[in-house]
């Protein structure tokens, strides 16, 4: 394994809640209306300082997708997933984009997001309305 380089982002930053490694900018949010097991999640057009795991087919709320979990390069924590392929034509806009789970990241003001009764108990997650 080679050396890990961490990119420092400038602006309103979302970071890993465990090690504070920068992950994304608020300017790159595509949608805030995604949900996961732990509550809310945001779809980003661009993320940084993550490694991408193995791809797998997952049944999400909006249908079958090929996704890969994404991990923080600073501490190895899973922080969300990346959409590789969407089978439904209406979901193609997600391809190549990443979802960061709010429960696992700090907001631009370093605020935590706590899981609530809104969290879905189903496997996988997806946007309800984009």
Q: With cut-offs at 50, 70 and 90, classify the pLDDT of residue 7.
A: very high
pLDDT for the residue numbered 1: 58
Q: How many domains does one find in the chain?
A: 1
Query: Does residue 59 belong to any structural domain of this protein?
Result: yes
Query: Does residue 41 belong to any structural domain of this protein?
Result: yes
pLDDT for the residue numbered 121: 39
pLDDT digits over 80-115, tens only?
Answer: 999 999 999 999 999 999 999 999 999 998 777 654
User: Left (φ > 0), alpha (ψ -120 to 50) or beta: where does 128 sit?
Assistant: alpha
User: Residue 72 maps to which CATH number?
Assistant: 2.170.150.20
pLDDT for the residue numbered 35: 85
Instruction: Select the more confidently predicted residue: 92 or 127.
Output: 92
Q: Which two tokens stand for residue 1?
A: 């394994």
Tell me the mean pLDDT in the region 115-125: 41
Query: Does residue 60 belong to any structural domain of this protein?
Result: yes
Query: Does residue 31 belong to any structural domain of this protein?
Result: yes
Query: Does residue 120 belong to any structural domain of this protein?
Result: no
Query: Does residue 44 belong to any structural domain of this protein?
Result: yes
* Whole-structure pTM value: 0.83
Query: Does residue 86 belong to any structural domain of this protein?
Result: yes
Query: Does residue 119 belong to any structural domain of this protein?
Result: no
Q: Which two tokens stand for residue 36?
A: 């996961």
Domain that holds residue 17: 13-106
pLDDT digits over 34-79, tens only?
Answer: 988 878 999 999 999 999 999 999 998 888 999 999 999 999 999 9
């Amino acid at each position: 394994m080679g050396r890990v380089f961490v990119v420092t982002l400038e602006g309103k930053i979302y970071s890993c809640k465990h090690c504070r490694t920068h992950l994304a900018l608020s300017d790159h949010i595509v949608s805030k209306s995604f949900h996961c097991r732990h509550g809310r999640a945001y779809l980003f057009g661009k993320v940084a300082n993550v490694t991408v795991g193995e791809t797998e087919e997952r049944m999400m709320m909006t249908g079958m997708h090929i996704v890969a979990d994404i991990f923080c390069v600073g501490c190895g924590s899973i922080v969300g997933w990346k959409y590789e392929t969407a089978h439904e034509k209406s979901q193609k806009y997600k391809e190549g984009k990443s979802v960061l789970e709010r429960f696992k990241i700090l907001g631009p003001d370093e605020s935590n997001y706590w899981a609530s009764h809104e969290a879905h108990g189903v496997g996988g997650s997806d946007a309800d309305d984009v």
